[in-house]
C-alpha cells in the first residue's frame, strides 16, 4: 500500500486545506477555553467583592474625573438621599429575558451634595420616554438604597443629544447635565426603602455564576477537528488500498478500457484487412 500519491499537487492542496481547517478549529477551541477561564475568574471576583462588608457609597467613591478604584466593581454599598426626578434618563437597547426595553437611571442626591446614579431597573420597550411613568416613579423625600457598584460605560458608542435617553450609563454626560457632582460609579439597585412596587419595573438580575456555554463550544470545535482528521485519514487509506490515485489517461490499472498494451498472446489485426497471427506465419492465407 503506497501513499506516494499524496505528493501530487491535487493531494498536497487537499492536505494543506485540512491542516489549515484543523488549526483554525483548534484555535477556536482554545479561544473558548480562554473565555471559560475569564468567566470563572469573573465569577470568583464577584463572589469575593460582593461578600465584603457593605460601606457608604460617598466614602469610597470620588466624583467623575477623580480617581476611582476599579476593584470597587461589584462591591455592595449603601446610600441615603433624595431622588432627582428631573435628572432621570432611560438607557436604550437593554434586554431582559430576551425582551427589549430600557434601564431607568435616576440620580440620588446625597447629603454631601454629590449624586449617585441609581439604576432602578428595567422597563419594557412599549413604555416610551414621553409616556407617563408615575406607576414606577421614585418615591419622594429621603430614600435609603443599597446595591452593587458598576463602572462607567463611557466606551460604548451612541448619540447623546436626547435629554431623556442615553445609549449607556455615561456618568460624564450625567454630570454635565446635573447641577451637582456625579460620583464615578453607578449603583445597580438591590434594595430600597421605601420600595417601589410595580409589575413594569424589574430589578436587574445578578450575574449568572455559571461556566456558560464556553466549555460546550470548545468541545464542539475539538469534535469537528477530530472528525475532519478521521474522515480525511479514512479517505487516504481507501485510495491507497485501491492502488493510489492514478491518472485515467496515464495507463495502468486506472486506464480507460481499450487503451494501453495488448494482453499477452497472439497479436490481432485491428485494421480489418486480414488476419495476423500464427496462421500467417505458417503461410496459410485466407482463401
Residue-wise pLDDT tens digits, 34-64? 999 999 998 998 888 888 999 999 999 999 9
Q: What is the 3-state secondary structure (H, E, C) of 221-254?
A: HHHHHHHHHHHHHHHHHHHHHCCCCCCCCCCHHH
> Does residue 189 sit within a domain?
yes
Pairing of strands 186-193, 142-150: antiparallel
Instruction: Give φ, ψ of 181 to 5 degrees.
Output: -75, 130
Below-70 pLDDT ranges, the chain = 156-159, 245-287
Q: Are 121 and 105 part of one and the same domain?
A: yes
pTM of the model as a whole? 0.71
pLDDT for res 221: 97
Residue 252 belongs to some domain of the structure: no
Q: Which of 94, 53, 104, 58 is nearest to 79 (CA)?
A: 58
pLDDT score for 12: 94
What is residue 100's predicted lDDT score, i.e. its pLDDT? 96
Is the same domain home to 237 and 174? no
Domain count along the chain:
2
pLDDT at 187: 97
Nearest by Cα to 162 from 116, 100, 108, 102: 102
The predicted structure's pLDDT at residue 253 = 41
- The DSSP code sequence of 106-163 is EEEEETTS-EEEEEEEEEETTS-TTS--GGGPPPSSEEEEEEEEE---TTS------S
Note the pLDDT of residue 81.
97
For residue 64, the domain's CATH number is 2.40.50
> Are 67 and 168 contained in the same domain?
yes
pLDDT in tens, 88-127: 999 999 999 999 999 999 999 999 999 999 999 999 999 9
Q: Which domain holds residue 98?
A: 53-193
Amino acid at each position: 500500500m503506497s501513499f506516494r500519491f499524496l505528493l501530487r499537487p491535487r493531494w498536497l492542496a487537499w492536505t494543506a486545506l485540512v491542516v489549515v481547517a484543523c488549526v483554525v478549529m483548534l484555535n477556536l477551541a482554545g479561544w473558548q477555553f480562554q473565555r471559560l477561564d475569564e468567566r470563572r475568574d469573573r465569577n470568583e471576583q464577584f463572589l469575593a467583592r460582593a461578600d465584603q462588608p457593605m460601606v457608604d457609597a460617598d466614602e469610597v467613591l470620588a466624583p467623575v474625573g477623580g480617581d476611582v478604584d476599579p476593584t470597587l466593581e461589584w462591591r455592595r454599598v449603601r446610600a441615603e438621599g433624595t431622588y432627582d426626578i428631573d435628572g432621570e434618563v432611560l438607557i436604550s437597547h437593554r434586554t431582559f429575558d430576551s425582551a427589549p426595553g430600557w434601564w431607568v437611571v435616576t440620580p440620588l442626591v446625597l447629603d454631601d451634595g454629590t449624586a449617585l446614579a441609581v439604576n432602578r431597573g428595567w422597563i419594557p420597550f412599549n413604555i416610551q420616554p414621553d409616556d407617563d411613568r408615575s406607576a414606577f416613579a421614585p418615591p419622594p423625600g429621603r430614600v435609603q438604597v443599597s446595591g452593587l457598584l458598576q463602572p462607567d460605560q463611557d466606551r460604548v458608542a451612541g448619540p447623546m443629544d436626547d435629554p431623556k435617553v442615553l445609549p449607556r450609563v455615561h456618568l460624564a454626560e450625567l454630570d454635565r447635565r446635573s447641577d451637582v457632582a456625579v460620583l464615578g460609579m453607578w449603583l445597580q439597585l438591590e434594595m430600597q426603602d421605601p420600595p417601589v412596587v410595580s409589575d413594569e419595573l424589574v430589578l436587574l438580575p445578578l450575574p449568572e455564576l455559571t461556566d456558560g456555554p464556553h466549555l460546550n463550544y470548545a468541545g464542539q470545535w475539538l469534535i469537528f477537528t477530530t472528525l475532519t482528521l478521521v474522515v480525511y485519514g479514512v479517505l487516504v487509506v481507501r485510495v491507497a488500498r485501491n492502488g493510489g490515485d492514478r491518472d485515467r489517461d496515464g495507463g495502468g490499472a486506472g486506464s480507460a478500457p481499450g487503451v494501453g498494451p495488448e494482453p499477452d498472446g497472439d497479436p490481432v489485426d485491428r485494421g480489418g484487412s486480414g488476419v495476423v497471427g500464427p496462421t500467417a506465419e505458417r503461410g496459410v492465407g485466407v482463401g
